Amino acid sequence: MIGPSERADSTRPAGAATMSPAMREMEAYSAYLYRLVEPVLGDRVWEVGMGHGQYTARMREAGKRVLATDVDPRCLDAARRAWAGDDLIVIDRVDLREEASIRAHTAYAAESILCVNVLEHIEDDVGALRWLRESAAPRAALALIVPAMPELYGRMDAEAGHFRRYSRRSLTTLLDTAGWRPHAVRYVNFLGAVGWWYHNRVRRSAGLGDVRANRAMRAVDRWLPRVAWWTDPVLGSLAGLSVLAVGRSGDG
């Protein structure tokens, strides 16, 4: 059994290297997650870990100003090409392991922060969330999505460089400790958790590049978001592939 204690060393992957090949193609699922976080996003958003830019594009379509950041030079270069000349999109590097890297963007005065599947890669997650809070505008909103359920930790997590998976309770405690006021913390994608359990606990040999696992991800993208829209509100207190948290800084 692979556990968080068997995490990678200094060669830990970052950016696009942490994603399975199918993730870039899962447009329906990323659209579903965006619908969940969109209500809390203000007009000035700091996107922490833009990856392939699916959420950046959706926020731009909504007319938001976006500070789109990542640690991966390949993601940054691709974003600069895609948004060249666009006054609403600012592309820059941020490494959540480096306090100075985060605080360098205080002047942007972000009204909200969007962070999807990034925090699990950061050993000092408390420090990262605290630095983000202190670098955003007063009473800023936080929309955070992270992998759920420590029991699901397996080879895919290890290959992706995950330090951990979260429970609702552990994520709530984390937000409190970092100075964020949790407003809602729930699980999303119950059926996805079943699939992750199968590939990481039953098969065990499935890594990020596993053909069967990636084929399954592409297949479920056609229908899973529609099902999750109905099942997640019912099962959100029980289990899911991810935990969604909404928080506010200060007295928000």
pLDDT of residue 27: 80
CATH of the domain at 143: 3.40.50.150
The mean of the pLDDT values for the chain is 89
With respect to residue 137, please indicate whether it lies within any of the assigned structural domains: yes
Q: Which two tokens stand for residue 211?
A: 């053909």
With respect to residue 196, please indicate whether it lies within any of the assigned structural domains: yes
pLDDT of residue 11: 59
With respect to residue 125, please indicate whether it lies within any of the assigned structural domains: yes
Residue 151 has pLDDT above 50, yes or no: yes
Percent over 70 (pLDDT), the chain: 86
Q: Lowest-confidence range among 54-63, 154-163, 199-208?
A: 199-208
| Cα gap 173→20, rounded to integer Å | 29
With respect to residue 236, please indicate whether it lies within any of the assigned structural domains: yes
Higher pLDDT, 46 or 218: 46
Range of the domain at 194: 16-249
Q: What does the pLDDT average to over 62-75?
A: 97
With respect to residue 2, please indicate whether it lies within any of the assigned structural domains: no
Q: What does the pLDDT average to over 169-187?
A: 97
Q: How confident is the model at residue 10 (pLDDT cuts 50, 70, 90)?
A: very low
| Cα gap 22→234, rounded to integer Å | 27
At residue 86, the 3 state secondary structure works out as coil
Residue pair 29/223 in contact by the 8 Å Cβ criterion: no
pTM, full prediction: 0.89
pLDDT of residue 217: 73
With respect to residue 244, please indicate whether it lies within any of the assigned structural domains: yes
Q: What does the pLDDT average to over 40-44?
A: 97
With respect to residue 3, please indicate whether it lies within any of the assigned structural domains: no
Total domains, the chain: 1
pLDDT of residue 162: 94
Q: Where are the beta strands (DSSP E) in the chain?
A: 44-48, 65-70, 89-93, 112-116, 141-147, 180-188, 242-249
Residue 59 has pLDDT above 90, yes or no: yes
